[in-house]
Amino acid sequence: MFLINCPYCGERDQSEFTAGGEAHIVRPKQPTELSDDQWAEFLFMRKNIKGVQLERWNHAHGCRKWFNMARDTSNDRIHAVYKMGEKPPIK
Amino acid sequence: MKNKYSIFSLIKNAFSYHENWQRAWRDPEPKNEYDAVIIGGGGHGLATAYYLAKKHNMSNIAVVEKGWIGGGNTGRNTTIIRSNYLWDASAGLYDHALKIWEGLSQELNYNVMFSQRGVMNLAHNLQDVRDLKRRTHANRLNNIDAVWLNTEEVKKFCPIINTSQDIRYPVLGGTLQRRAGTARHDAVAWGYARGADAMGVDIIQNCEVKGIKRNGDSVEGIETTKGFIKTKKIGVVAAGHSSVIANMVDLKLPLESKPLQALVSEPVKPIIDTVVMSNAVHAYVSQSDKGELVIGAGTDAYVSYTQRGSHDVVEGTLKAILELYPIFSRMKMLRQWGGIVDICPDASPIISKTHIKGLYFNCGWGTGGFKATPGSGDLFAHTIANDEPHKLNADFNINRFVSGDLVDEHGAAAVAH
């Protein structure tokens, strides 16, 4: 349980948001040319990092906009919040 | 040689004020080399070591555990044991475990307090009724006991349930597996540890794995906080931390780790003599032998390795509990905790070889691993010893995420994940 600083609405309780999982997984441009291994990688395989992870969140009970976050999954501390399309501020 | 626990050893030790009991397991320093090393000293890991030694004559093995044995999810779950899964593959896997549970205390000479008090799953809407009825039929085709109870029968079986039809989630019926029940989680870890130790397995606690040494496509050993341990076979049974181990060899797993919460109340006199689970409202209740209500809540919907979980999840669960059991309205909750569960996209586990020779994973048990502890250990031991899966865990290989042959228990396993 923690607070999230929505880039559009400001600081709100985490329960207003929906987690969208790992960020920056790009949908393949040519889906028909993908092998089964590449599909599995895109659909299922995740880094599931213990530490700072880049992830997507949606302010479901607020502005309903998507944005990205760098959050430390070992202590739920949020290091950065950035809009969709922007480069991650931390590696 | 371990002394056998019995009424006679109890009397004998009473004369020396219980000060001369033999240690249940040793506390060895790691050797330089083992035939196999199990990473993770929870129930599944210790069971794996036990069956490797017992059934496959591999006694030069070690279990390395970063904390203390049974201190992770083994000690953080609601100890529910059942096998009423929908799909054939899951039914085979979980009923294999249930059959071992039935004789486990005798086999281990350790009372795991397995209690077949029955598990009841409630239906709250018409779709639940259809799904649960379908599941009882599927269970019976797989030789797993299951019966459908209507609302009156539910009330008769567990009189404290509120069966009024004007509540938010009215009880429209439920399924009952009478062979299902609960066990004592610590005793399971300790019993397997004692049994494995007696056969020569080294259980090394406070030993965290820092890296895995590879030579091309095979493993050579592990780097730990107690030094390098050489081995050709590594079985990873690290539950929520499976991805952390996998990332050491640049292996990606289809897992997300999330906190799952449970809580217990103050102890009271016997009030509920079974286990009641509800999929729709995500609330599980049973009563421990100490008298505490053991309540299971849901997972947080985001990846986290913090062993606590959000308050709103507990709040949601308790709201549902209070509506279903108004008698609990003045109960005080004593303790709350979270465990990190590794959830697969299809909510089924992975008991599998990997593309790296000598590296095996037993993970993805998600929210329901405790019930499978004996079966999981037995099948994982078979997989490690023979470098081939047993027919019961063949469907639970890691390649199903490539082939698409998933064991989709998400909506089918009688719980929402």
Write out pLDDT tens, residues A54-87: 999 999 999 999 999 999 999 999 999 999 999 9
B401 inside 8 A of chain A by CB? yes
How distant is the Cα of A21 from the closest Cα of chain B, in angstroms? 7
Split at pLDDT 50, 70, 90, the class of B417 is very low
Closest chain B residue to A21, measured at CA? B302
Residue partners of A85: CB distance under 8 A and separation at least 6: none
Q: Least CB-CB distance to A50: which of B254, B305, B311?
A: B305
Q: Write down the domain spans for chain A.
A: 3-83
Residue partners of B392: CB distance under 8 A and separation at least 6: B92, B93, B96, B375, B379
Q: Annotate B321-363 with three-state secondary structure.
A: HHHHCHHHCCCCEEEEEEEEEEECCCCCCEEEECCCECEEEEE
Q: Least CB-CB distance to A15: which of B312, B345, B404?
A: B312
Residues of chain B numbered 261-320 and touching chain A (CB < 8 Å): 301-306, 309-312
Q: What is the ipTM of this complex?
A: 0.94
Structural tokens at position B268: 């009271």
Three-class DSSP category at B382: helix
Split at pLDDT 50, 70, 90, the class of A91 is low
Q: Least CB-CB distance to A46: which of B254, B306, B309?
A: B254
Contact B303 A37 (CB under 8 A): no
Arithmetic mean of pLDDT, B176-201: 97
**Mean pLDDT across chain B, nearest whole number?**
94
Q: Least CB-CB distance to B310: which of A1, A45, A50?
A: A1
Chain B environment of A44 (Cβ under 8 Å): 254, 345, 401
B254 inside 8 A of chain A by CB? yes
Q: Least CB-CB distance to B301: which of A19, A50, A76?
A: A19
pLDDT, tens digit, 9 for 90 and up, residues B242-290:
999 999 999 999 999 999 999 999 999 999 999 999 987 778 999 999 9
* A:B CB pairs within 8 Å: 68
- Is domain A3-83 annotated with CATH 3.20.20.150? no
Residue partners of B215: CB distance under 8 A and separation at least 6: none
Measured between alpha carbons, how far is B228 from B216 in angstroms, rounded to an integer? 18
What pLDDT sits at residue B87?
Answer: 93
Contact A75 B306 (CB under 8 A): yes
Split at pLDDT 50, 70, 90, the class of B412 is very low
Three-class DSSP category at A13: strand
Chain B environment of A41 (Cβ under 8 Å): 252
